[in-house]
Amino acid sequence: MATNLLSVATASAAAKTVYFNSADGRTALTGYVFEPSTPGPWPAIVMLHGRGGPYSSNVNADCTSVGAGTSSPCNANTLSKRHAMWGEYWAARGYLALLPDSFGPRGKAHGFGRFTHGDPDRADVNETNVRPLDAEGALAYLHSRNDVVAGQIYLQGWSNGGSTALNVMIRQDNQQGNQQGNQAGYRGAIAFYPGCGPSALLASKISNTAPIAMFLGADDEEVSPVRCLRFADRSRQAGSPIDVTVYAGATHGFDEPSSRRQSTPGNQAAMDDALVKAIAIVNGWKK
C-alpha cells in the first residue's frame, strides 16, 4: 500500500486517554488523543467509530466496562488497526486527532456485527439522537484545550460514525450561524461509507455552509452508495458544498488495513487514494 505511516502498534501506543462529557449531560466518555510531534496549537479532527466500536475485534468481546477507574482490555493499546492508523495519519500531518468511544462507557464496547441495524440493543447508542451529542461533547472538550485551534476542528466518521457525522452537520444546520452555543461548530466533515437512508439520517438533505466529503465503495455490501449519491445531490441543490468520491470495486470498510480486507483489489486502490485525498481536502478547507 502506498502509505508511509508508522506501524499500527506504534500509533496505538502513542494515543493518550482522556475523559470528557457527552453533550447529553449524563454520559462520561472515554477518548483517545493522537498528538502531533510539532508544537501546538494544532487544528484538530474528531474521529467517529463505526458500529463495530473503536477496539480490535480480538479484545472487544471481553470488555465489560470502559472508563475512568476501570481495568479493561479495551484501551488505548487495543484500538482497531483502522482507528490507530488514521489517528497516526492525522497526527503525522499536524492535526490533533480525538477518537471518542461512544459504546464502551455505555456498556457496549463489544460493538455490533454486520447487518444489525435493527438490533434493539443499538437504540441507546444510535446515530441520530445519541452519538451526535457525543461528537458535540468532543467539540466542547477540544475547545477547552489551549493547544487546539478552535476555528479549525473537523469531523471524520466511518459507517455508523459517518452517518453520525452527517447528522452533526444537519444539527449545525439548525443552529443559527453554524454555532454550538457560543462556540464555532465543526468546520467540515468527512464521511466514509455512511448509511444515508431515512432511518440513519435526521433529514433528507444538508443545507450547511460547512463543506462535506463522502468516500463510498461502489460494491458496498452493507449500505447503499446510491442513496448517498441522491442525498448529496439534494444537499448540493440546497446549497451545501458536498463532494463525493465513489470507488469502483470497493466494499464496505475499504480502508480497514487488515490483510483480509485489503485482499480485495478495489479496496487497496480505494484506501491508497483516500489516504492521499483526505489530507488534501481538509488542508483545502483551512484556507
Condensed to tens digits (0 to 9), the pLDDT of residues 253-274 reads: 999 998 888 999 899 999 999 9
Helix, strand, coil percentages for the chain (3-state, nearest 5): 35, 20, 45
Tell me the C-alpha distance between 226 and 126, whole Å: 22
- Entry pTM: 0.90
Average pLDDT over residues 182-199: 90
Q: Categorize the per-residue pLDDT at 198 as very low, low, confident or very high, splitting at 50, 70 and 90.
A: very high
More confident residue, 40 or 178: 40
32 DSSP β-pair partners: 17, 99
Lowest mean pLDDT among 123-127, 129-133, 209-213, 269-273: 123-127
* Residue 176 pLDDT exceeds 60: no
Contacts for 221 with CB less than 8 Å, ≥ 6 apart: 251, 252
State the sign of the Cα–Cα–Cα–Cα dihedral 57, 142, 90, 92.
Answer: negative
What percentage of residues in the chain have a pLDDT greater than 90?
A: 69
Q: For the stretch 237-246, what's the b/e string if a residue is b when 16 or more beta carbons lie within 10 angstroms of its beta carbon?
A: eeebebebeb
The predicted model gives 182-209 an average pLDDT of: 91
Question: Which pLDDT band holds residue 8 (cuts at 50, 70, 90)?
Answer: very low
Q: Enumerate residues 6+ apart whose C-beta is below 8 A from 129.
A: 202
Query: Does 1.10.3720.10 match the CATH number of domain 22-285?
Result: no
